[in-house]
Structure 1
Amino acid sequence: MRILFLALTFPKIGHGGNLYTDLMEEFCDQGHEVFVVAPSIDENETGLIDEGGIKVLRVKTMSLLNVGAVKKGLANLLLPFQYKKAIKNHFKSEIIPDLIIMPTPPISLVTVATWLKKKSNAKVYLILRDIFPQNAVDLGMMKKGGFLYRIFRQKERKLYEISDSIGCMSQGNIDYVKKYNPEVAISKLHLLPNWQKEILLNPENRASLREKYGFDDYFVVIFGGNIGLPQKLENILKVAKLYNGNDNVLFFIVGQGTEKERIDALSKQMNLKNVVIKDSLPREDYQNIISAADCGLISLSEKFTIPNIPSKSLSYFNAKIPVLAAIDKNTDYGFLIQEQIRGGVWAPSNEPLKIKEKIDFLRANPQLCTSMGENGYEYFINEVTPKHSYERIMNHV
């Protein structure tokens, strides 16, 4: 098949990776012809580029990540016009896809997908990873019923309408879409959990890594990924304050995002000696650091009404460490982690004492932590590699 993937973030193949590069590489390895439309990484490197056998059309756009809400909103609104123009200039009429795959965010690319579907009669597969605009309402970035909300809600409905299949992260996501969008045919919806390539780790390196990063004598709670409003890491700083100066618990935060500077400043203001905040690292370096930690942290704002399933937990599964989830009560992620996978524990994200109780529970039960790590790893390699996701998509289309 000829696959066209509309991406928002797509690291250069061979120089980084994320779940979407992993998936497109899997499609390529399975013998499909893969085309990707994605923002340029270097503004001087635009146009159609062969990246490891995948033809990537790099488009010059406004900054889409780590910028304020107004700039991000404007960049997303301009994106479909920029993509459509680039596709017309570079793909010409001979590039007729059989399958168009697009993730959320953003939903603004619905106009590009609709246009391409009419031109090619291709199927559209939606990877639903962000239920917008409701998540923006939850975080106070948009008023429900307001002008912008109505525009984006209309685009969301159109996106569900033109999609032939919709892959949802969890049963909670499927139930949510059905509840608030009853016009969507149930036959379109199916389960597509987050996925990730396995990164092979050397367990013998763990002791040297702990020494290198100053983890010795600490129970290390590690967080990696975006530091933004959805993560609300001030909740975690409140937990760290409960330990500060009393116990050997270290909170190690790695990442970038719109809230990073504020969280860093707040940590200093609170005089937290047990919080370390670092910049993002290359994927394999980051995975190595995770393997030296004692548990992996998930943090979600308690304001969410939509069921989020963070993909960063896969890195923790890969490293065979238990997951500590500080999450809202509307997601089914806690049930998934604690009851189904048995790979970790969870507590409400706005209740620091309960989160501390979970950390103390993990500290007091090292053998159980090992067992949870093994359970997470087994789920990872048996259920959520790119090959599993590829098979789920192909079975449904």
Structure 2
Amino acid sequence: MKKKVVFLALGYPNVAKSTILYTDLMQEFGAQGHDVLVVAPAYETGNYGCRVEGKVKVLRVKTLPLFKVGAIKKGIANLLLPYQYKRAIKKNGDLDFDLVILPTPPITLFSVASWLKAKTKAKTYLILRDIFPQNAIDLKMMKEDGLLHRYFRKQELKLYQLADTIGCMSKANVTYVQEHNPTLDRSKLHLLPNWEKIPAPVSKDGIQEVSAKLGISDKFMAIFGGNLGKPQQLENIVRLAQSCKDIDDIFFLILGSGTESERVRHMIAKENLSNIKLVDRVPKKEYVQILAAADVGLISLHEEFTIPNFPSKVLTYFGLKKPVLASLDLSTDFGQMLEETKSGLWSQAGDIEAFKGNLLWLYNNRKQAIEMGQNGYSYMKSHLTPEKAYTTIMENI
């Protein structure tokens, strides 16, 4: 049965310019014949209102800046978001929905989902990708049991209670939510791994062109791509590069932007490292071309995490058949997935010697590294596509 679906988004680019896992998922819903309305911030002044983007309608809402601003401004913007979304939805005139889907972050959209559910009796599906506020506690960005923590924790519990079904990105996430929310109906929880469309292969000429442009044609390149924030603990990658500075043909590339960009730039300059380069975020198509030229995809998670994170950037690595080298906290089961799928190597965050040892194994065993990349690609095709995520959601609502 085809449904009228509303998706409450925080970050949702125009698919004509860029894609993320949520655009991929909503385009799949549209392709399956559902009537989809995405509610999302407008990224350009004056670019407000409802329009068709790809196979879905997108209602662009005027908000305060949500990204690349200080914590106070970001907090105020997120607190105002529910009121701005409700006003825009009312003005749009469509309050007839069968299914409300919302991801975390942010949990502040709870009130919008609650309002829509009361108005329409729609089912509510929560895509749990950020266990907040505990992640902020882990990173010491919020005081445990402080006023903000108590407020957001209450919002989190309300969100779990509101949801008819909750998709968690790993088995460890399911277990964590169960153990830390004992009053929650456990039948709501199920596994919904991250997903992404498999990128089109990049030609050999394209790879050679990118390699020449970056000056790494004769290098073994390890790349980290994505958000550059505290959760990624990027000093581990800089320290790995420092430990390898005497190996002439190993090169590191950090590609992206975020709150830690300047600190990473400063670390590289302070150590006078010539074997690592920081490049600002580029469009997805260009990112795929650069990643295609790499030999290894890097993952780094903060060692202080007590919640089990599952980095979505691995999807593009898998899609381009890159073996994965990860530095991980001990709460995640991401390393277990790498072991089970034979798609990469991991070590404990902060253990640079082990991190380097795994890198050198991939460097010295190119054939086995290529096989790891192929294993990741095969696993993605079977388990980590938008089609698979769509099927999982529909089966569980």
Q: TM-score, normalised by structure 2?
A: 0.97
Q: Name the structure 2 match of 1:63.
A: 65
For the residues of structure 2 that align with 1:321 and 1:213, how far apart are their CA atoms? 18
Does the 8 A contact of 2:96 with 2:120 survive in 1?
A: yes
Q: Which has the larger displacement, 53-62 or 121-130?
A: 53-62
Equivalent residue of 2:127, what SS? strand
Letter paired with 2:263: R
Deviation for aligned residue 1:67: 2.3
- CA distances 1:4-47 after superposition (whole Å, capped 9, x unpaired): 00000000121111000000000000000000100001121011
Does the 8 A contact of 2:95 with 2:120 survive in 1?
A: no
Q: Which has the larger displacement, 156-165 or 257-266?
A: 257-266
Deviation for aligned residue 1:70: 1.9
Q: Name the structure 2 match of 1:359.
A: 359
Q: Name the structure 2 match of 1:219.
A: 220
Letter paired with 1:34: V
Q: Name the structure 1 match of 2:258.
A: 257
Q: Name the structure 1 match of 2:154.
A: 154
For the residues of structure 2 that align with 1:296 and 1:129, how far apart are their CA atoms? 21
Q: Name the structure 1 match of 2:53.
A: 51
For the residues of structure 2 that align with 1:297 and 1:232, how far apart are their CA atoms? 12
- Number of aligned residue pairs: give it: 394
- CA distances 1:45-76 after superposition (whole Å, capped 9, x unpaired): 01112212311111111221222222222211
Equivalent residue of 2:50, what SS? strand
For the residues of structure 2 that align with 1:356 and 1:8, how far apart are their CA atoms? 37
Query: Following superposition of structure 1 onto structure 2, how do residues 282-321 of structure 1 map, counting pairs within 5 Å?
Result: 282-321=283-322
Of the three residues 14, 18, 26, the one matched with 1:16 is: 18
Deviation for aligned residue 1:260: 0.5
For the residues of structure 2 that align with 1:13 and 1:292, how far apart are their CA atoms? 24
Query: Following superposition of structure 1 onto structure 2, how do residues 77-226 of structure 1 map, counting pairs within 5 Å?
Result: 77-90=79-92, 92=93, 94-205=94-205, 206-226=207-227
Does the 8 A contact of 1:68 with 1:258 survive in 2?
A: no
For the residues of structure 2 that align with 1:38 and 1:115, how far apart are their CA atoms? 17
Q: Which has the larger displacement, 28-37 or 196-205?
A: 196-205
Does the 8 A contact of 2:89 with 2:95 survive in 1?
A: no
Equivalent residue of 1:253, what SS? strand
- CA distances 1:156-213 after superposition (whole Å, capped 9, x unpaired): 0000000000000000000000000011111110110000011111342333432232
- CA distances 1:111-146 after superposition (whole Å, capped 9, x unpaired): 110011000000000000000000000011001111
For the residues of structure 1 that align with 2:298 and 2:74, how far apart are their CA atoms? 27
Deviation for aligned residue 1:282: 1.1
For the residues of structure 2 that align with 1:67 and 1:275, how far apart are their CA atoms? 27
Deviation for aligned residue 1:247: 3.7
- CA distances 1:267-286 after superposition (whole Å, capped 9, x unpaired): 11111111111111111110
Does the 8 A contact of 2:95 with 2:116 survive in 1?
A: no
Letter paired with 2:358: K
- Percent identity reads 49
Q: Name the structure 2 match of 1:32.
A: 34
Q: Which has the larger displacement, 194-203 or 241-250?
A: 241-250
For the residues of structure 2 that align with 1:246 and 1:26, how far apart are their CA atoms? 45
Letter paired with 2:29: F
Where do 5+ consecutive residues of structure 1 fail to align?
none
Letter paired with 1:350: G
Letter paired with 1:29: A
Q: Name the structure 2 match of 1:2.
A: 4
Does the 8 A contact of 1:245 with 1:273 survive in 2?
A: no
Deviation for aligned residue 1:265: 1.6
C-alpha RMSD of matched pairs (Å)? 1.1
Query: Following superposition of structure 1 onto structure 2, how do residues 238-387 of structure 1 map, counting pairs within 5 Å?
Result: 238-337=239-338, 339-387=339-387
Letter paired with 1:31: G
Does the 8 A contact of 2:172 with 2:308 survive in 1?
A: yes
For the residues of structure 2 that align with 1:13 and 1:200, how far apart are their CA atoms? 16
Does the 8 A contact of 2:229 with 2:259 survive in 1?
A: yes
Letter paired with 1:166: I
Q: Name the structure 2 match of 1:229.
A: 230
Equivalent residue of 1:199, what SS? coil
Letter paired with 2:143: K
Where do 5+ consecutive residues of structure 2 fail to align?
none
Q: Which has the larger displacement, 386-395 or 263-272?
A: 263-272
Equivalent residue of 2:5, what SS? strand
Equivalent residue of 1:224, what SS? strand
For the residues of structure 2 that align with 1:138 and 1:49, how far apart are their CA atoms? 40
